[in-house]
Structure 1
Amino acid sequence: MQVITLIHEEDGVFGVSFPDFPGCTTVAGSLDEAVAKAAQVLAFHADGMHADGIELPHARTLSELQADKEFRADAPARWSWRCPYAPPGRAVRVNMTFDESLLERVDNAAKRAGETRSGFFAAAAQKRLHNEFTR
């Protein structure tokens, strides 16, 4: 799936927004960095919506967006492009190997937090992915 993305440049700073995902934005110091961060911020935003039980919006085509007066008013000063997007999916089982003492510490921390081992690892992965694109 692809989501239409708007990129706006002002004074050497590039802002990225997603018309179908209000509030989902990022900024970067170069066009290349903005494009690289766009897919990550969109995935993080959609994962958060999914976790909060918010229905994900329908990703409109460029033709559908051009029929939207608000989009047309905002789009002329911006570039638009299609950002790859994979909506949150179902949980899948994986087989991974960990140091025994690390796994014991994870299990203890998960138990204290009232989580499962899988939930703990998923939260840690989400945090790491979030930190990667907010540097």
Structure 2
Amino acid sequence: MRYPILIEEGSDNAAFGVVVPDLPGCFSAGDTLDEAMEAAREAAAAWIDAALDAGVDIPAPSRLADARSLPGYEGWSVGIIELDPALFDDSIERVNITLPKRVLRRLDDLAAARHQSRGAFIAELTMHKR
């Protein structure tokens, strides 16, 4: 999926600033244009991940012409970041993992104490704030 970005050009004394206007509050910066673009991709991925965790709908990308005409960004360049569609995929996937029996037993005991399945417990562990 491609999202338009707005880029404020950097200088010797200031970083490049990047805003993803379709994702409210999503912005980043970098000392070079390449660093700023990569930081924008990372910020957008984190924004989408947090929104999915919170049950918030992910806005569709706007048209470049719409991004170009946003008030307050006169003189900024317009670009595109491409996001991996897997970021938006909340479908269930079966996985096979290998663990020592003692670790698996401990995992199952912890899950049982929370009245959860093994899979639900693992998912909960990974969804906690980092």
What SS is found at the alignment partner of 2:6? strand
Q: Which moved more, 1:34-43 or 1:9-18?
A: 9-18
Q: What's the TM-score once normalised by structure 1's chain length?
A: 0.67
Q: Is the 8 A contact 1:4 1:60 kept in 2?
A: yes
Cα deviation, residue 83, structure 1: 0.9
Residue 94 of structure 2 corresponds to 93
Tell me the distance in 2 between the aligned counterparts of 1:75 and 1:117: 52
User: Comparing both structures, which one devotes a greater share of its residues to helix?
Assistant: 1
Alignment of 1:25-40 (within 5 A): 25-40=27-42
The answer (yes or no) to whether the contact 2:17–2:27 under 8 Å persists in 1 is yes
Give the direction of change, closer, same or farther, for the CA distance of 1:43–1:100 in structure 2 (3 Å limit). Answer: farther
Structure 1 alignment gaps of length 5 or more? none
**Cα pair distance change 1:112/1:74, threshold 3 Å:** farther
- Residue 83 of structure 1 corresponds to which residue in structure 2? 81
* Number of equivalenced pairs: 125
Q: 1:40 to 1:12 in 2, by over 3 A?
A: same
Paired amino acid for 1:64? D
Deviation sequence 1:105-128 (CA, Å, 0-9, x none): 44445555666543454465567x
Q: What one-letter code is carried by the residue in structure 2 that aligns with 1:88?
A: F
- Residues 53-93 of structure 1 deviation map (CA, whole Å, 9 limit, x = unaligned): 21111211202323x442xx40523x322111224212222
Shift of the 69–18 alpha-carbon distance from structure 1 to 2, 3 Å rule, reads closer
Change (3 A) 1:62 1:52: same
Query: C-alpha distance in 1, partners of 2:66/2:29?
Result: 26
Between structure 1 and structure 2, the one with the greater Rg is 2
Which residue matches 1:41?
A: 43
TM-score, normalisation: structure 2: 0.69
Q: 1:55 to 1:111 in 2, by over 3 A?
A: same
